[in-house]
Amino acid sequence: MTSALEMKNVWLTFAAADGSLDVLKDISIDIQSGSSVAIVGPSGSGKSSLISVAAGLEKPSRGEVSLLGERIEALSEDRLARLRRGRVSMVFQSFHLLETMTAFDNVRTPLEIAGLDCVEARADEWLERVGLSHRRLHYPGQLSGGERQRVAVARALASDPAVIFADEPTGNLDAESGRGVADLLFALTGDRETTLVLVTHDTEFASRAARVVHMRDGRIE
């Protein structure tokens, strides 16, 4: 088995007026390709920070981060973008869909940017898998929260990425829509070699991952 993500002795420190704040403290974790991991812990314990550093959205203050076999902590934005393109996807609590694009274009455009083939057919196929074919030409503002997140899931999965980082993907949804999105994420990643790294407050959702990692005060317990 190879590592999809490896963090070694990672610290994330922010300067504050009254000194510095260690948000991640000596984090080491190894996540195997194709596995699923849920990161849980109290509010402010560093879960989102961990995922940001793991995905290369934030540089660690110290330590090493390897994503898909490549050390990323010192990579330029350009190289990082190239590494992530089509291979690393994110799903956020607040969906992050482009409001001026239809559901179809929200799914299609990143595929085009990644230079993949058959982007229109793929976008349609994934909208169908998340049960939204009939809403393909609707804009995010015309969709419910659960529907928007299903578009975001289709967008994340359509490139057949190696890794998906999902930060509280059900955090803005009611229980039923949340369950639907959780079902989709596990169903659609379970039958492929996709690594799923998930932050959630929902213990039932977390327990569906192969491994649950507990964080407290910037550390893995």
Ligand X SMILES: Nc1ncnc2c1ncn2[C@@H]1O[C@H](COP(=O)(O)OP(=O)(O)OP(=O)(O)O)[C@@H](O)[C@H]1O
| From candidates 9, 30, 44, 118, binder to ligand X by CB under 6 A | 44
- Cβ of residue 210: shortest distance to ligand X, in angstroms? 21
- Cβ of residue 42: shortest distance to ligand X, in angstroms? 7
CA 175 to chain centre: 20
For ligand X, the closer of residues 48 and 194 by Cβ is 48
- Cβ of residue 93: shortest distance to ligand X, in angstroms? 8
By CB under 6 A, is residue 23 in contact with ligand X? yes
| Nearest C-alpha neighbor of 218 from the set 61, 11, 20, 66 | 11
CA 123 – CA 105 distance, rounded (Å):
8
For ligand X, the closer of residues 14 and 121 by Cβ is 14
For ligand X, the closer of residues 124 and 168 by Cβ is 168
Edge to edge, the sheet with strand 3-16 lists: 19-32, 3-16, 62-67, 70-71
- Cβ of residue 68: shortest distance to ligand X, in angstroms? 23
Q: Identify residues 24-43 at the interface with ligand X (CB under 6 A).
A: 41, 43
By CB under 6 A, is residue 69 in contact with ligand X? no
Which residues here bind ligand X, judged by CB under 6 A? 14, 21, 23, 41, 43-49
